[in-house]
Structure 1
């Protein structure tokens, strides 16, 4: 009986906590909201990141791909916490059905009868130097033509090839 009371008390105090405040920017202002973390481990003043993100899951038609937004959050939260923007190099490797989220507006609308919510995000990422790459094997399997991709997207032989080349350049793989 005591345990039930303690669990109920603990849960009720959790539900009364203030919701986290997620901030915009500082570099990509329309995407990549992030929360301030109190008492976090300090980031080295000279921190450098070379990170590849792997995305295979497509967003619901007409919706933003949350995995793409993770790159904007990565940039924003690190710059907001003192990492120099020039010390952050990111690559987005897309394969599987997520390749559809890289279609141009015209091609996306033709396929899904919706606007592609990812276009502004991909442009903002590319403007920050993010390499946006699509697996050529997935593109072939999904019948995605290079001419139907956003101009910011580079087509590679395969996601496996892209990751191997990025690793040779010192990129680590972000598992999220």
Structure 2
């Protein structure tokens, strides 16, 4: 049996493919990272009149230490998705607590270079997140477990007593918990 694609159907599929691939990523809140796309048919979108309080529990390490961690970039994506839907940056309260295997994404360039033989590609993302208003914290317990000092890390990070107590502090204050 031979299948023939009708010209009208072919044009329809090509136009869908063109629409999907012709978009340029947008960066409404976190500049240069976490590129996202407008979805014109989306009927479920964030409400720009609400305040969003989000706590990201970042414990997953990078897949490839020579590339930006997709989990770090996903924080930027999440913030940009809210911005694209019209949520102003001042109504988006984002806190990130980094622990476990993800802690190495916070190493300063010197220490990252010693460990992975490359510059830390995540630092520019963390800088952009901070510039966009995200509060980046590192678990002090994870630092001790990995024999790290504050001086070993990106200077824009705040040291938290622990990831666990950071979560138990902010969730009761109305922060939604996202696990990356």
The equivalent residue for 2:10 is none
Counterpart contact for 1:100–1:144, Cα < 8 Å: no
The equivalent residue for 1:44 is 47
CA distance in 1, matches of 2:175, 2:166: 11
State the Cα distance separating 1:71 from its structure 2 match.
1.6
Aligned-residue Cα RMSD (Å) equals 2.3
Query: TM-score, normalization: structure 2?
Result: 0.82
Match for residue 123 of structure 1 among 112, 115, 127: 127
CA distance in 2, matches of 1:43, 1:56: 26
Structure 2, unaligned runs of 5 or more: 4-12
Structure 1, unaligned runs of 5 or more: 6-14
CA distance in 1, matches of 2:94, 2:37: 20
The equivalent residue for 1:26 is 28
State the Cα distance separating 1:152 from its structure 2 match.
1.1
State the Cα distance separating 1:143 from its structure 2 match.
1.5
Counterpart contact for 1:22–1:36, Cα < 8 Å: no
Aligned residues: 166
Secondary structure, counterpart of 2:74 in structure 1: helix
Q: Given the alignment of the two structures, is residue 142 of structure 1 paired with residue 146 of structure 2, yes or no?
A: yes
CA distance in 2, matches of 1:65, 1:104: 15
Query: TM-score, normalization: structure 1?
Result: 0.84
The list of structure 1 runs, each at least 4 consecutive aligned residues, that deviate by more than 4 angstroms after superposition, is none
Alignment of 1:62-101 (within 5 A): 62-101=66-105
The equivalent residue for 1:105 is 109
Post-superposition CA distance 1:20-39 (Å, at most 9, x none): 54522123231011121232
Q: Given the alignment of the two structures, is residue 170 of structure 1 paired with residue 174 of structure 2, yes or no?
A: yes
